[in-house]
Every structure is written in structure tokens, then in C-alpha cells.
A and B are shown apart, each in its own frame.
Chain A
Amino acid sequence: AQSVTQLGSHVSVSEGALVLLRCNYSSSVPPYLFWYVQYPNQGLQLLLKYTSAATLVKGINGFEAEFKKSETSFHLTKPSAHMSDAAEYFCAVTGGGNKLTFGTGTQLKVEL
């Protein structure tokens, strides 16, 4: 079985500051890991995914995430936040079977 823990249901940063959204996972098999973003009243959109090709994964809109097996983490970062980054972010993991298990999400607020 697999699970995801996202630390911090709400994160607030200033525009231009570093964004760090935390994700820890558990999986009984080597996982695939995903970050999705959901803008208000929209469906989820893929930011990036880890499929074992490289531990540092670059995604859209300047986001990246690093897979750290020893820490069972897949934290999402962006060097400089923009107002348009305000959204809800979901980490997800596969670990056997054919479904994605999602975390409870982190609402990112970007302040001037």
C-alpha cells in the first residue's frame, strides 16, 4: 500500500521568495511520484513527475522537485514565487496497482 503526507495545508510566501512545498511518501515498491496543481474552479494539471530516470525533475512554470529515497521525500520548489502561482498543490504516488494516491493538498498563497 502507498500513502502521501503533505506537511502544511496552507503555505504563505512573499512574491519573489522561495517556494517549498513538502511531500513524504510511503510505498512498498519503487514509486512513481507526481505533483499536480489546481487553480480555482479548474481541474488538476500535471506540474511534473518522477519515473526513476533522474532524481531532480523539472516541471512547468519553473517548478522542480527532487526525489530523495533515503528521506522518502519529493519536495516541490520554485526559486521565486509569482502571484500566478497561488493555487492548491497535490503530491501523488503510485506503488502497485494502477491508481494514484493523493495527499490532502497544500494551498499556496503569494503575497505582495
Chain B
Amino acid sequence: GAGVSQSPSNKVTEKGKDVELRCDPISGHTALYWYRQSLGQGLEFLIYFQGNSAPDKSGLPSDRFSAERTGGSVSTLTIQRTQQEDSAVYLCASSLYPTGGQGGELFFGEGSRLTVL
């Protein structure tokens, strides 16, 4: 497709289970970002990829969170042993070039809504 695609759009899981969230960026976009959006909290940065490398993972809240990107394209965010406080919308964005040094525009997917019971 033409835009950023995320799956699943909704995920309900039980506390303690692992979940995987997938992001398909726009073709050719080298930079990829994960954000978390909680009610009233705005967007919280999680991790940034340039190609397959993650030069900035400073926003990952704990070692239960990890992410990878393969082939400079698809990225997966994994949350192990989910907790109720992990409930949020997880947004993926991609850009043709990094936003920091060159002002690249981020294109967002519609997000994956995670509910941990």
C-alpha cells in the first residue's frame, strides 16, 4: 500500500502474555519510529531505526520491550510479560530521511490498540 501499515489494529491480551506488533513502512523510507499514545499523555517516543540499526532506543520503558527491523523495511515491536500499564495505542511512523537533522516529515500508521486485561 501507499501508507504505513500496522497490524493488528486491535489486540486484547491477558496480563503476562507476550505480544508482537508489526509495522510496514512506506517503501523507500529509511527511518522508522515507534511511539506510544496513552490517554491524556500525548505521544511517547519509544525507539528510532535508521535502516536496520536502532541508534536511539532511549524511550523503551523496560527490558520487557524490544524491537527489530529487518531488510530495512518491516519492524516488529515485542512486549514480553505484558502488564496492564502497557495498555495504549502503539504508533509506527516512517520518513524518507531522519526528522532531526533534516526536518523529515513523519508518516504515521493508524496504530495498534493494545488492551491488557
Q: B-contacting residues of A (Cβ < 8 Å)?
A: 9, 32, 34, 36, 41-46, 49, 51, 90, 92, 94-105
Contact = CB atoms under 8 A, between A and B. Distances in A.
B25 interface: no
Contact of B103 (A32, A36, A101): A32
B86 interface: no
Contact of A43 (B31, B40, B105, B108): B108
Max count, chain A CB within 10 A of own CB: residue among B33, B48, B103: B103
Nearest to A101: B45
Interface of B: 4, 31, 33, 35, 40-43, 45, 48, 50, 55-56, 59, 91, 93, 98-101, 103, 105-111
B103 A51 contact: yes
Which are the 3 A-B pairs with shortest beta-carbon distances? A98-B100, A43-B108, A104-B42
Contacts of A99: 33, 45, 48, 56, 59, 99-100
A41 B110 contact: yes
B95 to A, nearest CB: 9
Nearest to B45: A99
A100 B42 contact: no
B42 A43 contact: no
B91 A44 contact: yes
A94 B42 contact: no
A100 B110 contact: no
A42 B41 CA distance: 17
